[in-house]
A and B are shown apart, each in its own frame.
Chain A
């Protein structure tokens, strides 16, 4: 009996030693308990430590552009900085936060923001930005959680109507026929539908269908994002309009056309129109260079024009030992000139108003995307909302035959549950 106690003791000691050893390995562990509110403008940390920047890059163009911008800043500021393109951004960020040694500056998406803000990994530096008033207000709203502006919008995209010029002409349309109302969209979509291609192709997800809900005046939450309003009549109207297009055969989901997204259906010539963001320009010139197309603003619904916008921000880690330099870098990266350079390098839209006019002159064909900023709406950014949107998306591919009202009611229940947490 005594011998067994000894053994237990030995095993316990071993576990304790191992646990201690582990704790010692993660040197940042002790400092990681400060999950405060982060709203107060506390003094920023400052040191000589080099900065590490972690980006979720869309490709080599973006990585190169960001790297060279950071290198320029590094030269002028004297602070060393390295840019890493993440292969799985969320995972690499999470590992950094858990170990207490996160990247100093990194991309944060709107749906990740609330989670990181809640667990105290993000520095809420928005109010300290010198160019704060220059950002589009709807973008600032996307990165505001509980009244705190967390991080600087990096750039943004809006949804527009992309039209295949060749098919457009074949159907006998001219520039004046570009649809500006739902009825017109339905008419042109019907006329553009032939045995070879469908009038309109959409990806089956909230991030496309949601634009039509916005045009009907609907949204997943009320204006300040505190109450779920998924089951509103406006949302139902928007969803039923899309359902009507699907039922009449004038529109099809990309999944039913056997492609991964609307842009692919459009590029392959399976559809005469699609609803996509400005990222489609890069994809089309890379994969389908022969397609000539034009961009139009989304048509107006019963409550006027509406579209969705998507954006990322430059997050700064709360655990960063050199927040001051990080803030300086972010100000440089979001400056008017730098954003125009990024726009040229990898086709994004600048998040500051002061760059808008130059961008529109540089990209006259894409101007509708930027013009849409005035009526664009952000996607839900509450903690847990990403799961609800994912669940909604999972029902989208069956929208054609689904009960739209019941579908919204389910999502309403889920969203309300998330908001009450």
Chain B
């Protein structure tokens, strides 16, 4: 530190002055509320008066313990909400990313006529209010709604979408005659939910929400991908063409690796957004049927505002925060830039490509 030359003092003061409005606004409306919520999650605040007043006591990790152990209803509800949301994430994030990329590649093609129209059309659901789309979805997926009507034309008797609590993995297993899980799975529980129920998959009702999420957010991420695609230089593509790579190979070996930063952004935003799903549940099903559409953020809301368990509600929010941070870190390490592995390197080995003697090629590459 001592070796570095300090900037003149006055300049530093001016800098602070310029950023102070942002710091004050962010601090007041973001940092302080977050810290207060953190305090609430460790306190017995009952929702009356200030959480910082003298009557509110520190209760240690009691609120967290009730959620994570003890076999109470709170634990079961929290476990169920995690199960529901985990399946939601597992389905929504990959599908919406793939669909967004596909749409982006399609509308980015030079030969496509009316690209502007398609771009607008695909982006449209993203700029519509999620409440409006939820209401639309409730109509479309009602028992006698348009979706079931369409299914009936091809002879399929559609499910009772938003009222069907059966998990789709369980339903698939039922096709093979498996109606009850093995005792090893049904007999043991994690967070008050049996392992058999953890593997139930999203309920039919949740599946409708999954489709809705894919429908609405793919357009947003398509836009990110389009921007990234337009930034790619055509020279690399041309070079690949000269090397004789076909379209499929060019996409997987040339385009996709260059999109890695965008892919990271899209996956991260998708992960955060899907773990925080709230509006659709609040306006749509309110957790029904059988609690299979309860998500941690909705549970946090009902626990605090409905049951007056403010500490527990705040604790749910912070556990959710930890889950999101950990998953983002995991994803970052998975997607980080790595040196090309030797196995992979061999694919690009000029000697191998030209069909020269394999043994000598291996020697040289080492």
Contact = CB atoms under 8 A, between A and B. Distances in A.
Interface of A: 1, 3, 14-15, 18-19, 21-23, 26, 28-33, 35, 90-91, 94, 97-98, 100, 112, 115-116, 118-121, 255-256, 258-259, 383-384, 386-388, 390-391, 394-395, 397-398, 414, 417-418
B165 A417 contact: no
B28 A21 contact: yes
A15 B48 contact: no
Contact of A15 (B31, B165, B289): B31
Contact of A28 (B31, B49, B163): B49
Contact of B291 (A1, A3, A383, A394): A394
Interface in B278-300: 288-291
A388 B72 CA distance: 10
B160 A256 contact: yes
A301 to B, nearest CB: 27
Closest 4 CB pairs of A and B: A32-B49, A258-B143, A119-B46, A115-B308
B41 interface: no
B48 A98 contact: yes
A22 B291 CA distance: 37
A121 B27 CA distance: 30
Interface in B42-101: 46-50, 52-55, 72-74, 76-77
Given A97-B47, A121-B47, A258 B305 contact: no
Contacts of B52: 19, 23, 29
Contacts of B77: 387, 391
B50 A116 contact: no
Nearest to A25: B28
Contact of A18 (B31, B72, B76, B142): B31
A394 B289 contact: yes
A397 B55 contact: no
Contacts of B165: 394, 397-398
Contacts of A387: 73-74, 77, 307
Specify the main secondary structure of chain A where it touches its partner: helix
Nearest to A317: B48
B32 to A, nearest CB: 5
B114 interface: no
B306 interface: yes
A33 B143 contact: no
- Chain B CB within 10 A, most for which of A26, A32, A116: A32
Nearest to A396: B290
Contact of A384 (B46, B143, B307): B307
B162 to A, nearest CB: 9
B163 to A, nearest CB: 4
Contacts of A391: 73, 76-77, 291
Contacts of A112: 306
A388 B27 contact: no
A417 B72 contact: yes
Given A18-B24, A21-B28, A386-B306, A30 B73 contact: no
B49 A98 contact: yes
Nearest to A10: B16
Contacts of A417: 72-73
B197 to A, nearest CB: 12
Interface string B174-212: 000000000000000000000000000000000000000
